[in-house]
Amino acid sequence: MTEIGTTVSKNPYHPDVAIFLILIPFISAFNYYLTYTNIQLNGFLLLTFTIDTVQGYCAWWGVRTFILFLDKKLPYEKGLIRRIAFQLVSTLIIGLFIISILTEVVSLIAKGKPAPLNFYTIDLFIISIWFFVINGIYLGLHFYRLYQESEARRQQENQSKPDGIFVKQGKQDIRLMHDELEGFYVDEDYAVASQLGGKKFYLTQSLDKIEKTLPPGFFFRLNRQYIVHRQIISGFKRADNGKILVMLQKTTNFPPEIPVSRLRAPSFKGWFQPG
């Protein structure tokens, strides 16, 4: 397992702890701004702010613990929409329950009576919004982790695939390095490897099988007939119905423009212009 994979196994939402250690005090301060019209800076304000922030930490930790529990019992892969909906409702209930219980305990200790009614009609409503924000952050961290893992796998695939392909020339087996190739294309029933300069080699494998052996960072399957190396692509232009035309440098074996379907166009754009 890679270093990235090891980190993910310990905390799939890293660096969520650091984020919320900083974020929750800001949330408490913003809640004060929304709730109170006349705020006076004194010791009592510092005390109540500290108590509210600690309550926020406790509620966040309870929500975080439940999200990690859901990762084991109801992972995203088994139903993304169901998982998100269940997580939003459940964490909202858990978070508000923890806040309510802690508020009642503090009120009983400090004042000897339950929390005032406006806590449940105003404060909890404002606080509930923040739990949706917390869930949004965790969802964002989840999808960012998936992106990191995908990039790590792509890099591993590029490193693990041999640099080049073997072709036959008479009785010889010749190795063509990937950076020597313009790409591959179909000629009647054969797949053909095209070397820089125009020399071509007929292959025994199909274009589909050849595609699986190539590093995806350098080669792209434009359509059923062509796979091209990044080094001969000069750009692309838009065509009708969402299609694009990929423009190639002048070569012997490839046309100057190759059409890419509307369905494959977004993939090509992301490959050709990453980020």
Domain boundaries along the sequence of the chain: 3-159, 165-272
Q: Choose the weakest-confidence range: 70-74, 104-108, 116-120, 245-249.
A: 116-120
- The CA distance from 187 to 226, in Å, is 10
Query: Could you report the per-residue pLDDT of 210-266, keeping only the tens digit for each?
Result: 999 898 889 999 999 999 999 999 999 999 999 999 999 999 999 999 999 999 999
Q: pLDDT confidence of 39, banded at 50, 70, 90?
A: low
Cis preceding linkage at 75, omega within 30: no
Q: How far, CA to CA in Å, does 23 sit from each of 57, 88, 93, 130? A: 10, 19, 21, 11
> Which pLDDT score, from 0 to 100, does residue 139 have?
95
Closest listed residue to residue 142, CA positions, set 91, 76, 87: 76
CB 8 within 8 A of CB 150: no
CATH 3.30.1330.20 fits 165-272, yes or no: no
Q: pLDDT confidence of 72, banded at 50, 70, 90?
A: very high
Q: pLDDT confidence of 152, banded at 50, 70, 90?
A: confident
For residues 174-185, average pLDDT? 93
Q: Is the pLDDT score of 6 beyond 60?
A: no
Q: pLDDT confidence of 161, banded at 50, 70, 90?
A: low
